Protein backbone atom coordinates (compact mmCIF):
# COMPACT_ATOMS: atom_id res chain seq x y z
CA UNK A 1 0.00 0.00 0.00
CA UNK A 2 1.40 3.39 -0.98
CA UNK A 3 2.17 6.08 1.64
CA UNK A 4 -0.44 8.37 0.08
CA UNK A 5 -3.23 5.84 0.70
CA UNK A 6 -2.10 5.19 4.30
CA UNK A 7 -2.07 8.93 5.07
CA UNK A 8 -5.49 9.38 3.42
CA UNK A 9 -6.99 6.54 5.49
CA UNK A 10 -5.55 8.00 8.71
CA UNK A 11 -6.84 11.47 7.83
CA UNK A 12 -10.37 10.24 7.09
CA UNK A 13 -10.41 7.93 10.15
CA UNK A 14 -9.59 10.77 12.56
CA UNK A 15 -12.32 12.97 11.10
CA UNK A 16 -14.90 10.14 11.25
CA UNK A 17 -13.99 9.33 14.87
CA UNK A 18 -14.45 12.97 15.82
CA UNK A 19 -17.88 13.05 14.14
CA UNK A 20 -18.93 9.76 15.79
CA UNK A 21 -17.85 11.03 19.20
CA UNK A 22 -20.06 14.11 18.95
CA UNK A 23 -23.00 12.14 17.54
CA UNK A 24 -22.90 9.30 20.08
CA UNK A 25 -22.15 11.33 23.20
CA UNK A 26 -23.88 14.57 22.31
CA UNK A 27 -20.85 16.38 23.69
CA UNK A 28 -18.42 18.68 22.02
CA UNK A 29 -14.88 17.52 21.54
CA UNK A 30 -12.76 18.65 24.53
CA UNK A 31 -10.45 21.60 23.70
CA UNK A 32 -7.27 19.59 24.37
CA UNK A 33 -8.45 16.74 22.15
CA UNK A 34 -9.52 19.23 19.48
CA UNK A 35 -6.05 20.82 19.53
CA UNK A 36 -4.38 17.40 19.34
CA UNK A 37 -6.59 16.39 16.39
CA UNK A 38 -5.76 19.64 14.60
CA UNK A 39 -2.02 19.10 15.09
CA UNK A 40 -2.31 15.46 13.96
CA UNK A 41 -4.20 16.37 10.78
CA UNK A 42 -1.72 19.16 9.99
CA UNK A 43 1.18 16.72 10.33
CA UNK A 44 -0.57 14.23 8.03
CA UNK A 45 -1.10 16.92 5.37
CA UNK A 46 2.55 17.99 5.56
CA UNK A 47 3.72 14.39 5.35
CA UNK A 48 1.52 13.48 2.39
CA UNK A 49 2.70 16.49 0.34
CA UNK A 50 6.27 15.18 0.62
CA UNK A 51 5.51 11.73 -0.77
CA UNK A 52 6.75 10.96 -4.33
CA UNK A 53 3.27 10.33 -5.69
CA UNK A 54 1.87 13.70 -4.62
CA UNK A 55 5.02 15.51 -5.75
CA UNK A 56 4.68 13.99 -9.21
CA UNK A 57 0.99 14.89 -9.29
CA UNK A 58 1.61 18.50 -8.25
CA UNK A 59 4.44 19.10 -10.69
CA UNK A 60 3.32 17.02 -13.66
CA UNK A 61 2.54 20.14 -15.71
CA UNK A 62 5.92 21.70 -14.99
CA UNK A 63 7.81 18.55 -15.93
CA UNK A 64 5.83 17.76 -19.08
CA UNK A 65 5.82 21.35 -20.39
CA UNK A 66 9.23 22.76 -19.48
CA UNK A 67 10.15 26.26 -20.61
CA UNK A 68 12.80 25.89 -23.32
CA UNK A 69 16.13 27.47 -22.41
CA UNK A 70 17.22 30.52 -24.42
CA UNK A 71 19.28 29.77 -27.52
CA UNK A 72 23.00 30.22 -26.95
CA UNK A 73 24.58 32.82 -29.27
CA UNK A 74 26.30 31.62 -32.45
CA UNK A 75 29.96 30.64 -32.48
CA UNK A 76 31.75 32.62 -35.17
CA UNK A 77 34.61 31.22 -37.23
CA UNK A 78 35.22 33.71 -40.02
CA UNK A 79 34.38 37.02 -41.65
CA UNK A 80 33.12 38.22 -45.01
CA UNK A 81 32.92 41.66 -46.59
CA UNK A 82 29.88 43.23 -48.17
CA UNK A 83 31.71 43.22 -51.51
CA UNK A 84 32.27 39.46 -51.26
CA UNK A 85 28.60 38.91 -50.48
CA UNK A 86 27.54 40.82 -53.59
CA UNK A 87 29.89 38.67 -55.69
CA UNK A 88 28.45 35.43 -54.20
CA UNK A 89 24.84 36.45 -54.80
CA UNK A 90 25.19 37.71 -58.37
CA UNK A 91 25.51 34.23 -60.04
CA UNK A 92 22.42 33.12 -58.09
CA UNK A 93 20.36 35.89 -59.65
CA UNK A 94 19.70 37.60 -56.31
CA UNK A 95 19.36 41.32 -56.94
CA UNK A 96 20.28 43.29 -53.85
CA UNK A 97 18.11 46.21 -52.84
CA UNK A 98 19.95 48.83 -50.85
CA UNK A 99 23.47 48.89 -49.39
CA UNK A 100 25.22 46.14 -47.45
CA UNK A 101 27.40 46.53 -44.36
CA UNK A 102 31.17 46.67 -44.58
CA UNK A 103 31.69 43.20 -43.11
CA UNK A 104 29.89 40.37 -41.31
CA UNK A 105 30.72 37.45 -39.00
CA UNK A 106 30.39 33.89 -40.32
CA UNK A 107 29.36 30.72 -38.52
CA UNK A 108 29.23 27.05 -39.50
CA UNK A 109 26.24 25.30 -41.04
CA UNK A 110 25.70 23.35 -37.80
CA UNK A 111 25.14 26.63 -35.96
CA UNK A 112 22.64 27.69 -38.62
CA UNK A 113 20.80 24.38 -38.26
CA UNK A 114 20.80 24.83 -34.49
CA UNK A 115 18.94 28.11 -34.92
CA UNK A 116 16.44 26.56 -37.35
CA UNK A 117 15.65 23.72 -34.93
CA UNK A 118 15.05 26.25 -32.16
CA UNK A 119 13.02 28.76 -34.17
CA UNK A 120 9.36 28.05 -34.89
CA UNK A 121 6.72 30.60 -35.81
CA UNK A 122 3.48 29.85 -33.96
CA UNK A 123 1.14 31.78 -36.25
CA UNK A 124 0.04 29.72 -39.26
CA UNK A 125 0.31 30.79 -42.88
CA UNK A 126 -2.68 32.89 -43.91
CA UNK A 127 -2.95 33.97 -47.54
CA UNK A 128 -2.69 37.76 -48.05
CA UNK A 129 -2.66 38.38 -44.29
CA UNK A 130 0.23 36.44 -42.78
CA UNK A 131 1.90 34.90 -45.78
CA UNK A 132 5.41 34.15 -47.04
CA UNK A 133 6.90 37.64 -46.79
CA UNK A 134 5.71 37.99 -43.18
CA UNK A 135 7.16 34.59 -42.25
CA UNK A 136 10.44 35.38 -43.99
CA UNK A 137 10.81 38.83 -42.43
CA UNK A 138 10.08 37.47 -38.96
CA UNK A 139 12.57 34.60 -39.27
CA UNK A 140 15.24 37.01 -40.48
CA UNK A 141 14.48 39.40 -37.62
CA UNK A 142 14.87 36.61 -35.05
CA UNK A 143 18.11 35.41 -36.68
CA UNK A 144 19.53 38.93 -36.61
CA UNK A 145 18.47 39.31 -32.98
CA UNK A 146 20.20 35.99 -32.21
CA UNK A 147 23.42 37.15 -33.89
CA UNK A 148 23.07 40.80 -32.83
CA UNK A 149 23.06 41.75 -36.50
CA UNK A 150 26.51 40.29 -37.15
CA UNK A 151 25.52 37.44 -39.50
CA UNK A 152 24.78 37.72 -43.24
CA UNK A 153 21.21 36.42 -42.91
CA UNK A 154 19.27 37.79 -45.86
CA UNK A 155 15.78 38.11 -47.27
CA UNK A 156 14.83 37.55 -50.91
CA UNK A 157 11.69 37.70 -53.03
CA UNK A 158 11.66 35.76 -56.27
CA UNK A 159 10.58 32.68 -58.17
CA UNK A 160 12.16 29.61 -59.69
CA UNK A 161 13.64 29.67 -63.18
CA UNK A 162 12.43 27.29 -65.94
CA UNK A 163 13.58 23.66 -65.69
CA UNK A 164 14.91 24.19 -62.15
CA UNK A 165 13.93 22.17 -59.11
CA UNK A 166 11.98 22.94 -57.03
CA UNK A 167 9.48 24.89 -59.08
CA UNK A 168 7.58 27.72 -57.35
CA UNK A 169 5.93 31.00 -58.20
CA UNK A 170 6.52 34.38 -56.53
CA UNK A 171 7.71 33.66 -53.01
CA UNK A 172 9.67 35.23 -50.12
CA UNK A 173 12.27 33.34 -48.09
CA UNK A 174 15.70 33.71 -46.47
CA UNK A 175 19.30 33.01 -47.37
CA UNK A 176 22.37 32.76 -45.16
CA UNK A 177 26.12 32.45 -45.75
CA UNK A 178 28.18 30.00 -43.69
CA UNK A 179 31.85 29.94 -42.63
CA UNK A 180 32.87 28.27 -45.92
CA UNK A 181 31.27 31.22 -47.72
CA UNK A 182 28.60 28.95 -49.16
CA UNK A 183 25.12 30.42 -49.68
CA UNK A 184 22.13 28.48 -48.31
CA UNK A 185 18.39 28.97 -48.74
CA UNK A 186 16.21 28.59 -45.64
CA UNK A 187 12.43 28.60 -45.73
CA UNK A 188 10.12 27.71 -42.85
CA UNK A 189 7.22 27.33 -45.28
CA UNK A 190 8.95 24.42 -47.05
CA UNK A 191 8.89 25.93 -50.56
CA UNK A 192 12.35 27.12 -51.62
CA UNK A 193 13.96 24.87 -48.99
CA UNK A 194 12.84 22.14 -46.61
CA UNK A 195 11.47 23.14 -43.23
CA UNK A 196 14.38 23.43 -40.77
CA UNK A 197 16.64 22.11 -43.56
CA UNK A 198 18.90 24.61 -45.33
CA UNK A 199 19.66 23.74 -48.96
CA UNK A 200 22.58 24.91 -51.08
CA UNK A 201 21.41 28.02 -52.92
CA UNK A 202 20.55 27.65 -56.60
CA UNK A 203 19.88 30.26 -59.31
CA UNK A 204 16.49 31.98 -59.15
CA UNK A 205 14.75 34.93 -60.70
CA UNK A 206 14.67 37.49 -57.91
CA UNK A 207 12.81 40.76 -57.55
CA UNK A 208 14.75 42.06 -54.57
CA UNK A 209 17.07 40.96 -51.80
CA UNK A 210 18.32 42.36 -48.49
CA UNK A 211 21.10 41.35 -46.12
CA 6 and chain centroid, separation = 42
Reported pTM: 0.68
The CATH label, of 2.40.160.20, 3.30.460.70, 3.30.70.890, 3.40.640.10, for the domain at 76-210 is: 3.30.460.70
Tell me the CA end-to-end span of the chain in Å, nearest whole number. 65
40 contacts: CB under 8 Å, gap ≥ 6: 14
Per-residue pLDDT of the chain (211 residues; tens, 9 = 90+): 666 677 667 768 867 777 777 777 877 777 776 777 677 667 767 776 766 665 565 544 545 556 667 889 999 999 999 999 999 999 999 998 777 889 999 999 999 999 999 988 777 778 888 899 999 999 999 999 999 999 999 999 999 999 889 999 999 999 999 999 999 999 999 999 988 899 999 999 999 999 9
Q: Residue 4: what pLDDT?
A: 63
Q: Residue 146: what pLDDT?
A: 95
**Cα separations (Å) of 205 from 17, 20, 116, 164?**
85, 87, 25, 11
Q: Are 206 and 157 within 8 A, CB to CB?
A: yes
What is the spatial distance between Cα 186 and Cα 191, in angstroms, rounded to a whole number? 9
What is the spatial distance between Cα 123 and Cα 183, in angstroms, rounded to a whole number? 28
Q: Which residue ranges make up each domain of the chain?
A: 3-64, 76-210
Q: Residue 181: what pLDDT?
A: 97
Q: Residue 196: what pLDDT?
A: 84
Amino acid sequence: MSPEIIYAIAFITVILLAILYTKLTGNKIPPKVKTAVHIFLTLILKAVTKTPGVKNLCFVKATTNPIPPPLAPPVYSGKITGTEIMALLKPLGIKMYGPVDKDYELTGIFEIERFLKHYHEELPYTKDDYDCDDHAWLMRAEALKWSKGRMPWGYVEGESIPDASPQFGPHAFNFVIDARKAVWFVDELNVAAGKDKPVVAYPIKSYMGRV
